[in-house]
Amino acid sequence: MGAPRKATVKLNVSTAEVLFREYYARLCHYAFQFTADAELARDIAQESFVSYLARQEEVSTHPAAVRNFLYTAVRNACLNTIRHNKVVEKFIQEQAAGAPGTEAAAINTIIRTEVLAAIHRALDSLPEECARIVRMGYIDGLKNQEIAKMLNISVNTVKTQKRRGLQLLRLRLPPEMYVLVAYMLLG
């Protein structure tokens, strides 16, 4: 029983060699039509054979089915490579051009983070009830009536505390920072 096994393995290797000899040059040419890169075309053609050998039990042994599998594998690999290269090119162009969606967005995020940190530090320095009302009104976005009802205080007290909180923030923050804070809180 050991001999037939070896013959089967040898038959598969032999079949693979025949397929490789018959289709490799054609597949390289086919891949080159997509990629315009001879080395890449050779790699893709070789990978199509590896793919076939890994999945040959799923593919019919009919020569047309094998040929179709190989050509389809090459085409798909080429299209995936082209898509990947376009993504890489776009990224490189954006980086080179200083695309607004990349560096500017990162800078805006840093500024916003720093401003929010300054706001929270300044709010922590306010009297407790004043800081609480300012947070509820400006950060949580609650209306004066909602705050008054939640804290069981008058609407006028809420307005007074919010106004007092903004005045104290103005004193505690540098002028340029206060402008940003006011913009973020009131805008």
Q: Residue 92's domain is classified under what CATH number?
A: 1.10.1740
Q: What is the extent of the structural domain holding 168?
A: 100-186
pLDDT recorded at residue 96: 67
156, with CB counted inside 10 A (0-12, 13-18, 19+), is exposed
Q: Which two tokens stand for residue 15?
A: 């079949």
| Contact yes or no for 170/178 (Cβ under 8 A) | yes
Q: Do residues 89 and 21 both lie within one domain?
A: yes
pLDDT of 8 above 80: no
- The per-residue pLDDT for range 88-105, each reduced to its tens digit, is 888 777 766 655 556 677
DSSP, res 149: H
Q: Which two tokens stand for residue 93?
A: 């162009």
Q: Do residues 85 and 166 both lie within one domain?
A: no
The domain boundary, picked from 65, 82, 97, lies at 97
pLDDT recorded at residue 97: 64
Q: Do residues 92 and 127 both lie within one domain?
A: no
CATH number at residue 161: 1.10.10.10
pLDDT recorded at residue 26: 92
- The per-residue pLDDT for range 17-61, each reduced to its tens digit, is 888 899 999 999 999 999 999 999 999 999 998 999 888 888 888
The domain boundary, picked from 97, 118, 136, lies at 97
Q: Do residues 66 and 106 both lie within one domain?
A: no
Q: What is the mean pLDDT of residues 53-81?
A: 90
Q: Do residues 121 and 87 both lie within one domain?
A: no
More confident residue, 22 or 174: 22
Q: Say which residues have a Cβ less than 8 Å from residue 45's Cβ, sequence separation at least 6.
A: 24, 27, 28, 30, 31, 74
DSSP 16-74: HHHHHHHHHHHHHHHHHHHH--HHHHHHHHHHHHHHHHHHTTTS-SSHHHHHHHHHHHH
Can you give the pTM of this predicted structure?
0.47
pLDDT of 2 above 50: no
Q: Do residues 122 and 77 both lie within one domain?
A: no
pLDDT recorded at residue 7: 36
| Contact yes or no for 145/98 (Cβ under 8 A) | no
Q: Which two tokens stand for residue 162?
A: 């919010």
Domain count, the chain: 2
Residues of the chain with pLDDT > 70, as a percent, come to 84
